[in-house]
Amino acid sequence: MKARIVALAALMCAGAVFAEAPPAPTPAAVASHMDNLATLLDLTDAQKAQVQTILQEEHAKMKESFEQAKASGTKPDWQQMQALHQQLAQETLQKLTPVLSATQLKKFQIIQQSMHGHFHRGGGPSSAAPAPTQN
């Protein structure tokens, strides 16, 4: 199951790691990853649909950024890619905040951070922003 979580996070973070647009995941892979995430976060059916939409939007924005860079003939450097990834991750957290409970949001961030560490082995803790507080 841990391997599937890593794969899900890889899907979410793929754009920040590679300077080329990642290939589109198969619908079966996306469904499997969403099922795993729904299990880990204990999502309701309504939450699952909302989270899936938010994550698809993040992936589409990353892909669009790659396509724009490719069309202009430029290749973003590592710092630009990292900044874009952090911006999209923060936007995603903001969109997820009203959808998930505080506990679910924290679990989601842990999954993201573990994926960040997976791609940057030995690179230390993630620089992700702390979870927004939910009252």
DSSP state of 20: S
Question: What pLDDT, on the 0 to 100 scale, is given for residue 121?
Answer: 45
Lowest mean pLDDT among 2-6, 33-37, 39-43: 2-6
**Averaged pLDDT, 71-83:** 82
**Percent over 70 (pLDDT), the chain:** 67
Count of the separate structural domains present in the chain? 1
CA distance readout (Å), 55 to 10, 51, 125: 12, 6, 23
For residue 134, the Cα-to-chain-centroid distance in whole angstroms is 21
Q: Range of 16's domain?
A: 2-119
**Cβ–Cβ under 8 Å, residues 113 and 47:** no
- 125: in domain: no
In a domain, 63, yes or no: yes
pLDDT over 90 at 122, yes or no? no
Q: What is the mean pLDDT of residues 115-133?
A: 49
Q: Is residue 132 part of a domain?
A: no
The verdict on residue 30 lying in a domain is yes
Report which of residues 66 and 90 the model is more confident about. Answer: 90
Tokens of 64: 């669009």
Q: Which residues contact 16 (CB under 8 A, 6 or more apart)?
A: 62, 81, 82, 84, 85, 119
Residue 96 lies in a domain: yes
Per-residue pLDDT band at 22 (split at 50, 70, 90): low
**pLDDT value at 93 more than 70:** yes
Residue 19: the pLDDT is: 45
Residue 1 has pLDDT above 70, yes or no: no
In a domain, 128, yes or no: no
